[in-house]
Amino acid sequence: MPAVTTTPFGKDIDVRPRRGASRRPGAPRPGSARPSHSRKSARRRFRIHVSWRSAIILGVVVLTLGGGAIAGYALWKSGAVDNGKAWVDGITKRVTSFAPFPLEDVTVEGRKHVTQDAVLKALNVSRGDSLLTIDLQGARERLERIEWVEYAAVERRWPDTIHVALRERQAVALWQSTMVGADGKNVTEYVLIDRYGRKVRTVDPAESSVRLLLAGEGAPEQVAGLFLLLQDVKPIADKLQAAVFVGQRRWNLILDGGLQIRLPEEGAGEALKRVLELDRSDQLLSRDVSVIDLRLPDRITLRRTGVPDPLMSVGRRAEPTPPPAPPAGGPAKPPAAKPPVAQPAPDNKPHGARPSGQKT
The region of weakest confidence among 63-67, 101-105, 176-180, 302-306 is 63-67
Q: Are 116 and 159 part of one and the same domain?
A: yes
Residues of the domain holding 231: 171-304
pLDDT category, 21, cuts 50, 70, 90?
low
**Per the omega criterion (within 30 degrees of 0), is the bond before 159 cis?**
yes
The dihedral formed by the CA atoms of 71, 72, 75 and 79, expressed in degrees to the nearest 10? -170
| C-alpha distance from residue 117 to each of 102, 124, 146, 271 (Å) | 21, 11, 12, 49
Q: Would the pLDDT of 320 be above 80?
A: no
Q: Are 256 and 178 part of one and the same domain?
A: yes
Rounded Cα gap, residues 76 and 219, in angstroms:
52
Q: Which class for 206: exposed (0-12), middle (13-18), buried (19 or more C-beta within 10 A)?
A: exposed
Rounded Cα gap, residues 274 and 277, in angstroms:
5
Selected residue with higher pLDDT from 65 and 89: 65
For residue 126, the domain's CATH number is 3.10.20.310
For residue 6, is it within any domain?
A: no
pLDDT category, 352, cuts 50, 70, 90?
very low
Rounded Cα gap, residues 169 and 167, in angstroms:
7
- Per-residue pLDDT reduced to its tens digit, 211-229: 899 999 999 999 999 999 9
pLDDT for 353: 42
The dihedral formed by the CA atoms of 259, 265, 269 and 273, expressed in degrees to the nearest 10? -50
Domain final residue pick, 141, 168, 195: 168
The region of weakest confidence among 99-103, 196-200, 209-213, 235-239 is 99-103
* Cα angle 229-234-236, degrees, rounded to a multiple of 5: 85
For residue 314, is it within any domain?
A: no
Selected residue with higher pLDDT from 195 and 88: 195
Q: Would the pLDDT of 179 be above 60?
A: yes
pLDDT category, 86, cuts 50, 70, 90?
confident
pLDDT category, 350, cuts 50, 70, 90?
very low
Domain final residue pick, 140, 168, 196: 168
Residue 159 and residue 150 in contact, taking contact as beta carbons nearer than 8 Å: no
The region of weakest confidence among 67-81, 108-122, 205-219 is 67-81
- Per-residue pLDDT reduced to its tens digit, 26-53: 555 655 555 555 555 555 554 555 577 7
Mean pLDDT value of segment 179-207: 87
Rounded Cα gap, residues 225 and 309, in angstroms:
29
Local structure of 302: helix, strand or coil: strand
Mean pLDDT value of segment 228-255: 94
Q: Are 218 and 290 part of one and the same domain?
A: yes
The region of weakest confidence among 51-55, 104-108, 159-163 is 51-55
pLDDT for 327: 55
Q: How many domains does the chain have?
A: 2
pLDDT category, 348, cuts 50, 70, 90?
very low
Rounded Cα gap, residues 106 and 68, in angstroms:
46
For residue 357, is it within any domain?
A: no
Q: Would the pLDDT of 317 be above 50?
A: no
For residue 231, is it within any domain?
A: yes
pLDDT for 96: 55
